[in-house]
Amino acid sequence: MKYALITGGSRGIGKAIALRLAKQDYHVLINYQSNQQAAEETLNLIREQGGQATLMQFDVSDSEQTLTAINKWQEENKDAYIDLLVNNAGIRRDNLLVFMEQKDFQDVIRTNLFSFYNVTQPLLQPMIRHKHGRIINVASLSGIKGLPGQCNYSAAKGGLIAATKALAQEVGRKNITVNAVAPGFVKTDMVEGLDEQELKKQIPLQRFAQADEVAALVAFLASDEAAYITGECISINGGLYT
């Protein structure tokens, strides 16, 4: 049995990734922070579809909580290891920098970037020992081109893309691949409040993505077919570059 940990796997893009990977015979570890009801719904959905999943509640921005949860899982599953990690949990706290509170800058960097360290670091040794691993980071178009009102989020996602490229070079020889995906607008709770009708006019494909379209790309990067792709950041944005 192969294990996949999906941070923020309870809602939105992470949920779509969890559902797909569970169909591909992974035992899915669904991390979430606080919305237990959503997490249980995702867990039940996977089980109804014949898949295997376990909930793992921890705050990815908190290194101690994260390490405790991962160590507890490893203790309870001594012969297993997490072969696939999807760093997906994220938040946004948009504002023009001139009005942005320091806390909103820090919270976004902690949740979207420090989490990469908190979750990935303790999972590397087992992947190295097993000479196999896949790490996929969910970045954003914002981290490639920068978006106004998102200095915090753009900085975090840009950092995540750079970390993806650096780590890929560190662990390639251990048969571990590290890639990122960079979605544009995806229909999830995160984009609630945005003017979809107006924004989609700027997108060549004239619509927001479905979460499952991003999940399909993540599932491909996790597959054996993608074994020679590493250090890449793949855009999935309907053509929205400028």
Ligand X SMILES: NC(=O)c1ccc[n+]([C@@H]2O[C@H](COP(=O)([O-])OP(=O)(O)OC[C@H]3O[C@@H](n4cnc5c(N)ncnc54)[C@H](OP(=O)(O)O)[C@@H]3O)[C@@H](O)[C@H]2O)c1
Among all residues, which ones are annotated catalytic? 153
Select 15 or 27, whichever has its Cβ closest to ligand X. 15
Select 186 or 221, whichever has its Cβ closest to ligand X. 186
Select 209 or 226, whichever has its Cβ closest to ligand X. 209
Q: What are phi and psi of 50, to 5 degrees?
A: 85, 10
- Alpha-carbon distance of 67 to 82, in angstroms, equals 14
Residues 94-133 that bind ligand X (CB under 6 A): 111
Residue 60 engages ligand X in binding (rule: CB under 6 A): yes
Residue 55 engages ligand X in binding (rule: CB under 6 A): no
Select 194 or 227, whichever has its Cβ closest to ligand X. 194
Residues 11-30 that bind ligand X (CB under 6 A): 11-14
Radius of gyration for the chain, computed over Cα atoms and rounded to the nearest angstrom: 17
Residue 125's alpha-carbon distances to 79, 122, 129, 134, in angstroms, are 14, 7, 6, 13
Select 51 or 90, whichever has its Cβ closest to ligand X. 90
Residue 51 engages ligand X in binding (rule: CB under 6 A): no
138, 144, 151, 176: which one binds ligand X (CB under 6 A): 138
Q: Return the structure tokens found at 164.
A: 């993806």
SS3 183: strand
**Size of the residue set binding ligand X (CB under 6 A):** 30
CA 81, distance to chain mean position in Å, is 19
Pairing mode, if any, of strands 2-6 and 82-87? parallel
- Alpha-carbon distance of 76 to 67, in angstroms, equals 14
Residue 238 engages ligand X in binding (rule: CB under 6 A): no
Beta strand extents in the chain (DSSP E only): 2-6, 26-32, 52-57, 82-87, 133-138, 176-183, 233-236
Residue 230 engages ligand X in binding (rule: CB under 6 A): no
23, 24, 38, 203: which one binds ligand X (CB under 6 A): 38
Residue 137 engages ligand X in binding (rule: CB under 6 A): no
Residue 221 engages ligand X in binding (rule: CB under 6 A): no
Q: Return the structure tokens found at 188.
A: 């999830």
Residues 166-205 that bind ligand X (CB under 6 A): 183, 185-186, 188-191
Residue 236 engages ligand X in binding (rule: CB under 6 A): no
**Cβ–Cβ < 8 Å for 205, 234:** no
Residues at the site binding ligand X, with contacts judged by CB under 6 A: 7-8, 10-14, 31-35, 38, 59-61, 88-91, 111, 138, 140, 183, 185-186, 188-191
